[in-house]
């Protein structure tokens, strides 16, 4: 199957799936599939701390998991942007954590490894999603591109670290 065909099939699948599971890739040297991580549940934007549990906030970019190394970051912004990230070690994964608020969606693309995913944003809620990319080529430096309407406020953090183990089929 050609790269273009795989990309079109991937995009068609992404349109059917929820934004949480809608990662696409047409990279033929894939070692592991892209795997969504983290919270995708909208949280009221005015929430601070509820019962001692910190809630996502667009006041700052999403946090990475403990042990992850910061590779790039974009503070709260609107519209389109390109966020460079630094080189990593061979075998590390690349994690892209995105928070957004405002009616609409954003599309996050990692051109060096041919991965993209949409994120649905709530009008009065903060939506946060994290995707881990464990494909050959993610150890190189590159940039994440974000397409967003001016009605959506978003922030992004890129991290590097050891890949998490994939869930076995049927788990979750």
When divided into structural domains, the chain yields a total of 1
Taking the C-alpha atoms of residue 35 and residue 85, their distance in angstroms, rounded to an integer, is 19
Instruction: Tell me what pLDDT residue 167 has.
Output: 64
In-domain check, residue 13? yes
Locate 95 and state its tokens: 């994690």
Instruction: Tell me what pLDDT residue 164 has.
Output: 86
Query: How many helices and strands, by DSSP H and E, does the chain display?
Result: 1, 13
Instruction: Tell me what pLDDT residue 33 has.
Output: 39
User: Which SS3 state, helix, strand or coil, does residue 106 take?
Assistant: strand
Please give the residue range of the domain that contains residue 11: 3-161
In-domain check, residue 122? yes
Q: Strand 125-133 to strand 43-44: parallel, antiparallel, or no bridges (unpaired)? A: antiparallel
**CATH code of the domain covering residue 137:** 2.60.120
pTM greater than 0.85: no
In-domain check, residue 169? no
Instruction: Tell me what pLDDT residue 107 has.
Output: 97
Instruction: Tell me what pLDDT residue 5 has.
Output: 36
In-domain check, residue 166? no
Instruction: Tell me what pLDDT residue 160 has.
Output: 96
In-domain check, residue 171? no
In-domain check, residue 76? yes
Mean pLDDT in order along the chain per 10 residues (172 residues): 37 32 39 40 34 57 93 96 95 96 95 95 91 92 96 96 76 60
Instruction: Tell me what pLDDT residue 32 has.
Output: 39
- With vertex at residue 68, the alpha carbon angle to CA 112 and CA 50, rounded to the nearest 5 degrees, is 115
Q: What is the helix (H) or strand (E) element at residue 130, kind and residue range?
A: strand 125-133
Instruction: Round to the nearest angstrom and report the end-to-end CA distance of the chain.
Output: 30
Taking the C-alpha atoms of residue 87 and residue 89, their distance in angstroms, rounded to an integer, is 7
In-domain check, residue 172? no
């Amino acid at each position: 199957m050609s790269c273009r065909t795989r990309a079109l099939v991937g995009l068609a699948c992404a349109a059917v799936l929820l934004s949480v599971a809608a990662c696409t890739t047409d990279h033929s040297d894939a070692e592991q599939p892209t795997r969504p991580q983290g919270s995708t549940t909208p949280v009221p934007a005015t929430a601070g701390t509820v019962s001692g549990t910190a809630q996502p906030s667009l006041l700052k970019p999403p946090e990475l998991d403990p042990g992850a190394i910061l590779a790039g970051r974009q503070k709260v912004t609107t519209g389109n942007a390109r966020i460079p990230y630094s080189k990593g070690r061979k075998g590390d994964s690349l994690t892209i954590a995105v928070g957004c608020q405002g009616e609409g969606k954003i599309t996050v693309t990692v051109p060096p490894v041919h991965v993209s995913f949409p994120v649905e944003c709530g009008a009065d809620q903060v939506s946060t999603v994290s995707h881990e990319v464990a494909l050959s080529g993610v150890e190189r430096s590159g940039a994440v591109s974000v397409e967003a309407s001016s009605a959506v406020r978003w922030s992004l953090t890129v991290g590097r670290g050891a890949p998490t183990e994939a869930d076995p089929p049927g788990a979750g």
